Amino acid sequence: MQNFVFHNPTKIIFGKKTIPSIGPETLLWGNKCLLLYGGGSIKKNDVYGQVTSSLKETGLEIIEHGGVQSNPLLSHVKQGIDKVKAHNIDVVVAVGGGSVLDSGKAICAGAVVNHDVWKFFTGKKSIKRALPMTAVLTLAASGSEMNSGMVVTHDETRGKFGFGNKLLFPKVSILDPEATYTVPADYTAYGAVDAMAHVLEYYMTTEDPATPVQDRFMEGLIINAMDSCDRCLANPHDYNARADLMWTATLALNGLTGAGLGRVGFPMHMIEHSLSALYDVPHGAGLSVIIPGWLRWHSMQDANKIIQLGSRIFNFELRGIEPAAHTTIKILENWFTRINTPIRLAEFDVPPGDIPVIAGNALRLAKIWRLNQYSQQTIEEILALCL
């Protein structure tokens, strides 16, 4: 096990009828809040009503900033920063999925500096302080509710970049599984794939020495991402299925899976970010295309962890190294197909001729994330396995 520091100060309030605690929890951090949300789905399922009632009853002044898109845009973040500065806002209340929470963190970081917030994403500036953020989660997927990271897309360059800082953990995140009842089947599945991808990025890290404690934890999360997603799709109002998926997605990226693994790269995310930045495909959909291709490529370098995963969680008989890795990848692919997420680039109408452009865009992120083993040619090879 490698040395590590684990310090996750986010308070999680999980369960039925917990949303009304957003007011009192936010009041601990200020009197005037920026209420950040997305395209308005929270107005259809009454989450908006519950949140605003609680904030108002607690005496908080609300400035609204709706309209966060999936694959959230830097321009919208900057508008939020301008509002915070213009209104002297104390605290950001992010209500939505990962895109909203990620935008909220970027606003918290950018609202206390005079330079372009994008400089944090390109590593040209580092964070010294930030506004506090509280959150109500409405989508089981990104894990942003209990970590300090975020991903935002630059409107012009289409660079989809991410970074994290310990000052950006949400102070509190409220997770009511009932708020996800109305998430449609496709986005429920994308969320489960996203959670699985987060676990796989860590799991496939092959730095010595072995980390058996973390491995078992991650294998359990992968089993539960698949199983709870299946149950959510079978019955969208199954509370326990929604709760299991929600908590799985949170645990998948709150720092615990990676604690002790050393430096972990996010190669599948690196390639997918390029895909969703260029074609605006949902992040989880992009991942379900990239995962099998990347695993196929990785199995040619080192198949051990893929075989360990399959043999432990899928209970199949091993028949030699290559078939075992192949079987594991095939089972994952079959699951993607069952939950109706894409597994080939062609499903996005991306022509094979675009591969060099996708790889070129991904390469920019590979350099920032110091994934030095990924050249233009390597990324093209991986993308070719996704055709």
Residues that bind a second copy (CB under 8 A): 1-16, 18, 177, 209-213, 215-217, 219-221, 223-224, 227-228, 240, 243-244, 247-248, 251, 256, 259-260
Q: How far is CA 99 from CA 39, 64, 104, 288, in A?
A: 11, 16, 9, 18
In angstroms, give the least distance from the CB of 203 to a second copy.
13
Smallest distance, a second copy to C-beta of residue 7, A: 4
Cα dihedral 310, 315, 321, 325, rounded to 10, equals: -30
Residue whose CB is less far from a second copy, 183 or 221: 221
Please say which residue, 14 or 279, places its beta carbon nearer to a second copy: 14
**Integer Cα distance of 157 and 57 in angstroms:** 43
CB of 209 to a second copy, least distance (A): 5
For residues 253 and 148, give the distance between their C-alpha atoms in angstroms, rounded to a whole number: 10
* Minimum CB distance to a second copy, residue 208 (Å): 10
- d(C-alpha 261, C-alpha 305), whole Å: 14
Cα of 359 vs its chain's centroid, Å: 21
Residue positions counted in the chain: 387
Min separation Cβ 206 and a second copy, Å: 15
Closer by beta carbon to a second copy, 15 or else 184 = 15
Which is nearer to a second copy, 85 or 216 (by Cβ)?
216
Q: Is 142 exposed, middle or buried (0-12, 13-18, 19+ CB in 10 A)?
A: buried
Q: Of 7 and 263, which has the nearer Cβ to a second copy?
A: 7
The amino acid at 350: V
Residue 345: phi and psi, rounded to 5, are: -55, -35
Q: In this complex, which beta carbon is closest to a second copy, that of residue 247 or of residue 348?
A: 247
Nearest to 82 by CA among 71, 74, 72: 74
- Comparing CB distances to a second copy, the nearer of 313 and 385 is 313
- Give, as one character, the DSSP assignment of residue 73: B
Q: Which residues contact 199 (CB under 8 A, 6 or more apart)?
A: 218, 221, 222, 225, 252, 257
The distance of closest approach from Cβ of residue 169 to a second copy in the complex, given in angstroms and rounded to an integer, is 11
Report the candidate in 326, 325, 197, 215 with the shortest Cα–Cα distance to residue 268. 197
In terms of CB distance, is 14 or 316 closer to a second copy?
Answer: 14
Whole-number Å distance between alpha carbons of 360 and 87: 41
The span from the CA of 93 to the CA of 104, in Å, is 8
> How far apart (Å, rounded) are the C-alpha atoms in residues 299 and 306?
7
Smallest distance from a second copy to CB 325, Å: 22
Residue 205 CB, nearest distance to a second copy (Å)? 16
Of 176 and 272, which CB lies nearer to a second copy in the complex structure?
A: 176
Shortest Cβ distance from residue 9 to a second copy (Å)?
5
Residue with tokens 């908006």: 48
Under 8 Å CB-to-CB from 86, ≥6 apart: which residues? none
Distance between alpha carbon 163 and the CA centroid of its chain, in Å?
12
